[in-house]
Amino acid sequence: MSLIVTTPAPPYYSVIFTSLLSPDDQGYGEMADRMVQLAHQQDGFLGVESARGEVGITVSYWRDLTAIKAWKANSEHLVAQKMGRERWYQSFTLRIAKVERQYSM
């Protein structure tokens, strides 16, 4: 798994997910790992980058909005989303953004 994703030429889509975990985050790590594994099997998935300090930031990359919609509706992912809202996340913001330009070094 590469840490910085090699994405195709824009345009494509990103989902920027920033979160604060609850004090009791038992089971979160395993679920997060499983979601990354599952996302890789989704049509249109281009990769994911993740880091956690005081906040966690996960940016996943997708071919188009249709691919994001399908991932959101994935049944196992729906269970994880529900557990995230009810148990793991103190707060989060999710943003869907169209990547127009990119530059790497």
Summarize as ranges the residues that interact with a second copy (CB under 8 A).
3-5, 7, 10, 14, 16, 18-20, 49-57, 59, 85, 89, 91-105
As measured in angstroms, the least distance from the Cβ of 35 to a second copy is 16
For residues 30 and 100, which CB has a smaller minimum distance to a second copy in the complex?
100
For residues 6 and 75, which CB has a smaller minimum distance to a second copy in the complex?
6
Contact 16, 59 (CB under 8 A): yes
16 to each of 23, 36, 44, 77, 103, how far by Cα in Å?
22, 14, 16, 16, 18
For residues 76 and 90, which CB has a smaller minimum distance to a second copy in the complex?
90
Q: Enumerate residues 6+ apart whose C-beta is below 8 A from 96.
A: 13, 14, 15, 16, 65, 68
As measured in angstroms, the least distance from the Cβ of 5 to a second copy is 7
As measured in angstroms, the least distance from the Cβ of 31 to a second copy is 17
Nearest partner of 76 among 33, 44, 46, judged by Cα: 33
For residues 23 and 53, which CB has a smaller minimum distance to a second copy in the complex?
53
